[in-house]
Amino acid sequence: MFKQMKDMYKMQKEAKAIKKELASIHIEAEVDGVVVIVAADQELISIEIPDELATPETKAKLAKAIIKAHAKAAKKSQEVSAEKMKGLMGGMGFPGM
């Protein structure tokens, strides 16, 4: 039991280090002039919309709405993933998971 707890702590520590590293890596992609920057941990960092796709007055609002919608979808995705992992960790003999 103690070894399992020790292994779990080690895995948790490694996961936190990886998550921190992923947050610092930014990936840029462009399609039809729209530029999106996403961190490797899937957090949406920024969106640039060309003037021909939206008026200057609506670009900022549109970009903000897209970022919020992405955050909402990502949160739901994380909840689903956590639920799946909970089942996996429970199957590995970790009580309370």
Measure the CA–CA gap between 4 and 8, rounded to whole angstroms. Answer: 6
The 10s digit of each residue's pLDDT in 41-61 is 888 888 888 888 888 888 888
Structural domains in the chain plus CATH codes:
2-91 (3.30.1310)
**H-type helices in the chain, by residue range?**
2-24, 56-91
Measure the CA–CA gap between 46 and 67, rounded to whole angstroms. Answer: 7
Assess contact for 62 and 54: CB atoms under 8 A: yes
pLDDT at 92: 59
pTM: 0.61
